[in-house]
Structure 1
Amino acid sequence: MRSLTGIAGCGRMGAPMLAALRAAGLPARGYDVVQMDAGHITDDIAVFAEDLTTLITVVRDIDQTDAVLFGDQNFSAIPSLTRIIICSTLSPRYVRDLRARVPSHITLIDAPMSGAQIAAEQARLSFMLGGDTDDIAAAQPLFNAMGKHFHHMGDFGAGMQAKVLNNLLAASNTAMTRLVLDWADAAGLDESKLLNLIHTSSGQNWLASGFNDIEFARDGFAPDNTIAILVKDVASALDAAPADADTALPTLIQNTIKNLKPRT
């Protein structure tokens, strides 16, 4: 049987990741609940599952991941499946608990990624990896096709723990960068000049440096957009916070992002 990789969740991240796999000559198909005009992406569960050996999940949240693995799609029960790679950003607690829920013969790797849609389209994502060293080495050709930076953080679940901490910083950068730009507007400063200054100064951060390329940089909060995903990611970090942690600042950041308005 040939090795076939499937990506479940072919939205703004999953679709370019699938394209990168196929561009690298790796047999791959996609699945999405939304019907798409693409021959290599299907909404037919049986078609997607046929001969599938590796499943990569790039869906939005825990509910969708549960549906993919155990619920409506139930892909973890595919007889040919030998590996599941979790690329969605989820609670580390939830991810670690998957080992007890997924059949033991299936290898589990958590591989959340960073870089936004622009990095997925350019196949230069950064992956934070959790799992057995040999398992990750075996999957490395897949990661090489989709990304440029790979960080093995430890055992299964460690990649997700690192990702939610990274995204906690990304959320704080998003909140403060947007506040700074609003205040700059009030002071009459030119946005592009200020962003150029920030890029080469002590306030440098990922959102400000990529402001004109990151697809959600100007968005306000909406339940179905990437700003809302940042709110979800902060919640995932809070879920894995140490028992005695002061969570006041992360909660404030989360609430700030919830109140973001579009920046035109």
Structure 2
Amino acid sequence: MLSQENSTIGFIGTGVMGKSMAKNLLNSGYPVIVYNRTKHKADELLALGAEWGSTPKEVAQKANIIITIVGYPADVEEVYLGENGIIANAKPNSYTIDMTTSTPSLAKKLYEEGKKQQIHVLDAPVSGGDVGAKEAKLSIMVGGDTDAFTELKPVFEMLGTNIVYQGAAGAGQHTKMCNQIAIASNMIGVCEAIVYAEKAGLNPDTVLKSISTGAAGSFSLSNLAPRMIKGDFAPGFYIKHFIKDMKIALEEAKAMEMETPGLQLAESLYSRLSALGEDESGTQALYKYYQQYSNTL
């Protein structure tokens, strides 16, 4: 049985969300070994007592629970597969949790490859952005074996408050696609509502007081609309990563012969923003499409 006393957590990917997640694990008393391509992004964690792993291979060799949250499916493949990857170097009966938003097919592949090496692999993408990561209030969607999920539940509880087992390998990633589809169209509505309020001569902050707790309420309306109004477009979640997620969802929907006009529209608008240099902005920067760019696109 896993316990905090016999567990060492390897954490790969200390970006906007990963850094806060690793910090919560450290603050909970787990020993943590971190790796990131850019070492200085892990400086705060190292100052708090995390150990540095120079490669994913080293992290896998030292830890018995390895968590990854990187950028793209190609990055997931790089850290998991091959002779220097996690699966080839983790100890038998280790547990890995990929919390990147990636493809369901890759999640299934990692599960099968891990099984060959007696390594338990879960796909567990998250939702909640930078705020959810900082406050350990993420929504965590888990795919894989139920026994592995049960063993790792205490770790998940250090990271989130809504932890749901969704099914076999890949189910976590499919659930995250549902999440991103819902957000995509919702963000269009949030931006249009705020711009409408401004053009009607209303105080958008006051408008939010009325609509954010009614039937129109959503995470984006409550947490991202205030940032739009203030002109704060710092990333809680990068536009470039959201575009990646939407493209995965579009491909999966196409494979299921499903039409997704709302998702297609959102992806096209965000791709236009990307072409104008907004890749590193937060998803709330869709507001700029209406305020600054709509006449030039």
Instruction: Tell me the TM-score normalized by structure 1.
Output: 0.88
1:239 aligned to 2:251?
A: yes
Query: What secondary structure sits across from 2:122 in the alignment?
Result: strand
* Contact 2:80 2:110 survives alignment (8 Å): no
Q: 1:86 aligns with which of 70, 86, 98?
A: 98
Deviates more, 1:137-146 or 1:239-248: 239-248
Query: What secondary structure sits across from 1:149 in the alignment?
Result: strand
Partner Cα separation in structure 1 for residue 82 and residue 192 of structure 2: 41
Partner Cα separation in structure 1 for residue 86 and residue 227 of structure 2: 34
Query: What secondary structure sits across from 1:129 in the alignment?
Result: strand
* Contact 1:2 1:51 survives alignment (8 Å): no
Query: What secondary structure sits across from 1:175 in the alignment?
Result: helix
Superposed, which structure 2 residues align to 1:1-264 within 5 Å? 2-36=6-40, 37-38=43-44, 39=46, 40=50, 42=52, 44-45=54-55, 47-70=58-81, 74-80=85-91, 82-104=94-116, 105-211=118-224, 212=226, 218-219=232-233, 226-241=238-253, 242-260=255-273, 262=285, 263=287
- 1:123-182 Cα distance to aligned partner (Å, 9 max, x none): 111111112221101001110111111111111111111111111101211122112222
Partner Cα separation in structure 1 for residue 124 and residue 194 of structure 2: 33
Partner Cα separation in structure 1 for residue 202 and residue 185 of structure 2: 22
Q: Quote how far apart the aligned CAs of 1:41 are.
A: 5.7
User: Aligned pair in 2 of structure 1 residues 63, 129: CA closer, same or farther (>3 Å)?
Assistant: same
* Contact 2:180 2:245 survives alignment (8 Å): yes
- 1:212-249 Cα distance to aligned partner (Å, 9 max, x none): 479xx9539x9xx6122221111121222253211333
Unaligned ranges ≥5, structure 2: 279-284, 289-297
- 1:16-75 Cα distance to aligned partner (Å, 9 max, x none): 111111111112121101012242263611653442111111001111111111259512
- AA at the equivalent of 1:16: S
* Contact 2:127 2:140 survives alignment (8 Å): yes
- Give the number of equivalent residue pairs: 259
User: Aligned pair in 2 of structure 1 residues 98, 79: CA closer, same or farther (>3 Å)?
Assistant: closer
* Contact 1:69 1:75 survives alignment (8 Å): yes
Partner Cα separation in structure 2 for residue 79 and residue 257 of structure 1: 38
Identity of aligned residues (%): 26
- 1:186-229 Cα distance to aligned partner (Å, 9 max, x none): 22221211222221222212100112479xx9539x9xx61222
Query: What secondary structure sits across from 1:189 in the alignment?
Result: coil
Deviates more, 1:151-160 or 1:244-253: 244-253
Query: What secondary structure sits across from 1:152 in the alignment?
Result: strand
Q: Quote how far apart the aligned CAs of 1:84 are.
A: 1.1
* Contact 1:175 1:256 survives alignment (8 Å): no
- AA at the equivalent of 1:77: A
Unaligned ranges ≥5, structure 1: none
User: Aligned pair in 2 of structure 1 residues 75, 101: CA closer, same or farther (>3 Å)?
Assistant: same
- AA at the equivalent of 1:219: F
Query: What secondary structure sits across from 1:253 in the alignment?
Result: helix
Instruction: Tell me the TM-score normalized by structure 2.
Output: 0.79
Query: What secondary structure sits across from 2:37 in the alignment?
Result: coil
- 1:96-116 Cα distance to aligned partner (Å, 9 max, x none): 222333352110111111111
Task: Give the RMSD, CA atoms, in angstroms.
Answer: 2.6
User: Aligned pair in 2 of structure 1 residues 97, 131: CA closer, same or farther (>3 Å)?
Assistant: same
- AA at the equivalent of 1:83: Y
Query: What secondary structure sits across from 2:244 in the alignment?
Result: helix
User: Aligned pair in 2 of structure 1 residues 113, 233: CA closer, same or farther (>3 Å)?
Assistant: same
- AA at the equivalent of 1:34: T
